[in-house]
Amino acid sequence: MKVTINIDCTPEEARTFFGLPNVQPMQDALMAEVQKRMEQNIRAMDPEQMLKTWLPASLEGLEQMQKMFWAQMSAATKGPNSR
């Protein structure tokens, strides 16, 4: 025998039924604080500084990859018997 029960309730009703605390005010306050700090940091940084902060690893990685390709190409063009 199979029994199916469908319960139609809101998340707030389910939380109250199970006795869970309402963390929405705390979550709203934390998100407002995070948004405020992000806005302050973005205003403090000019676009060039932001790019330097966010992209240094990828740009260095591109330079290293380019050097590796050049090394491989030059080694391939020299060949083993070109000495």
pLDDT tens track for 12-60: 999 999 999 999 999 999 999 999 999 888 777 777 776 777 766 666 6
Domain-embedded: residue 61 = yes
Question: Can you give the pTM of this predicted structure?
Answer: 0.42
User: What pLDDT does 56 receive?
Assistant: 63
More confident residue, 8 or 49: 8
**82 pLDDT exceeds 60?**
no
Domain count, the chain: 1
Domain-embedded: residue 81 = no
Domain-embedded: residue 42 = yes
Task: Using the structure block, give the residue that is written with the tokens 């029960």.
Answer: 5
Give the domain extent around 35.
11-76
- DSSP code at position 19: T
What are the C-alpha distances in Å from 8 to residues 5, 11, 15, 21? Answer: 10, 10, 13, 20
Tell me whether residue 62 is exposed, middle or buried, using C-beta atoms within 10 angstroms of its C-beta: 0 to 12, 13 to 18, 19 or more: exposed
Domain-embedded: residue 2 = no
User: What pLDDT does 33 receive?
Assistant: 96
Residue 79 to residue 73: CA distance in whole angstroms: 10
Domain-embedded: residue 43 = yes
